[in-house]
Amino acid sequence: MLRLCAVAFVLCLIISSPLFARAQQKYILPDIRSLKHLTTSKSDHAPDIPGKETTMDFYSAPNGQLISIYSYKGRNVAFSTHSNSDFQNTYRIFMDLTGEGLFQEINKSLPWQLPVWVR
């Protein structure tokens, strides 16, 4: 009986282990009040929408970090960060995949498109 309970306990642990797996970390949009606004431009991140629909605002921090905020129709959908002195090794991009204002890091080497919730 004790052996059966031990086996059942181990099976429960194995089955529930995905529940204890670490979820991807989520970030909030950087506070831009203390940053210097550099410029604004447009880019195309939705091939099905004609023209350049995504607004990009570029900011610099006192420590040399550059932050880009991407928005569509006034709603922030993504932001990226990198060091001004080492772009290749410090570039990271984060996207709000659900519209909750919580951003997850996405693969920086792949082109990205506007998330479905913002369209």
Distance CA 107, CA 17 (A): 26
* pLDDT tens, position by position, 57-115: 999 999 989 999 999 999 999 999 999 888 778 999 999 999 999 999 999 999 999 99
Q: How confident is the model at residue 31 (pLDDT cuts 50, 70, 90)?
A: very high
Q: Give the closest residue to 29 by CA, choosing from 87, 90, 83, 80.
A: 80
pLDDT category of residue 23 using cuts at 50, 70 and 90: low
pLDDT at 22 exceeding the cut of 70: no
Q: 34 burial class (0-12, 13-18, 19+ CB within 10 angstroms)?
A: exposed
Sort 70 into a burial class: Cβ within 10 Å, 0-12 / 13-18 / 19+.
buried
- The pLDDT assigned to 11 comes to 44
The reported pTM is 0.77
Q: Decide: 38 and 58 in contact? Cβ < 8 Å.
A: yes
Residue ranges of domains in the chain:
25-118
